[in-house]
Structure 1
Amino acid sequence: MPKMKTNRASAKRFKKTASGGFKAGQAFTSHRFHGKTKKQRRQLRGTAMMNKVNVKRYAKILSNL
């Protein structure tokens, strides 16, 4: 059986953590900040952890990370 290939688009967007989870950059942070509150802008900084529901599916796609 052939080797599983890593999905390259996903590999560029997600990083695997030591505990097996995935972190990614926040969405909604590229433009139109005038329509967002200061609190929203502050909370959109940095990275976010992937939901536990999706971790199992992405672990297969990103098996070689």
Structure 2
Amino acid sequence: MPKQKTHRGLAKRVKKTASGKLKRSRAFTSHRMHGKTKKQRRQLRHSTLVHPSDQKRIAQQLSSL
């Protein structure tokens, strides 16, 4: 049986933390920022962790990281 390959598109978007959790950047930041409040724009700057219900599926796609 062949080895499972890493999903390269996902690997560029997600980083693994020291404790093993997955860190991602937030969506809705590429354009049309003028329609968002200052508070929304400030909060979108910070990265966040992948939700626990998605961690197992994403970890399988990033098997070699």
TM-score, length of structure 1 as denominator length: 0.91
Query: What do residues 12-64 of structure 1 show as CA deviations (whole Å, max 9, x unaligned)?
Result: 11111122211111100111111100100000003111000000111100011
- Runs of 4+ displaced beyond 3 Å: none
Identity %: 62
Given the two structures, how large is their TM-score scaled by the length of structure 2? 0.91
Aligned position for 2:54: 54
Aligned pairs, number: 65
Separation in structure 2 between the aligned mates of residue 47 and residue 63 of structure 1, nearest angstrom: 22
Q: CA RMSD in A?
A: 0.9
Alignment of 1:35-54 (within 5 A): 35-54=35-54
**Structure 2: any 5+ residue segments left out of the alignment?**
none
